[in-house]
Amino acid sequence: MSSEDFPWLDRDGQPVACVEKVRVLRENDAELRQTLQDAFEDGILMGVSPDAMRQSFIAMLADLVDPKSQGNA
């Protein structure tokens, strides 16, 4: 699924309608996808299995902290 197709939803489950917000989200998505692809390829070239690289990325995502739940908003 590309960032063009991704349904960006707010905390209430409603689509994010602000054009500027969606633009920033799509740009961030594209940059992150490219960075992940580069890191994935680097790992494979260094002999890491594709599954191990994917598990590393999944672990990173699981560790992300929601700033709204931390009282920083």
Contacts within 8 Å (CB) and 24+ apart, 53-57: none
Q: Residue 3: pLDDT above 70?
A: no
pLDDT above 90 covers what percent of the chain?
81
Say which residue, 7 or 54, is predicted with more confidence: 54
Joined together, the tokens standing for residue 42 give 């680097």
Choice among 11-20, 39-48, 50-59, 64-73 with the minimum mean pLDDT = 64-73
Which region holds residue 71: left if phi is over 0, alpha if psi is between -120 and 50, else beta? left
Global pTM? 0.78
- 1: pLDDT strictly greater than 70: no
Contact 8, 30 (CB under 8 A): no
14 pLDDT exceeds 60?
Answer: yes
Q: How far is the C-alpha of 27 from the C-alpha of 10, rounded, in Å?
A: 18
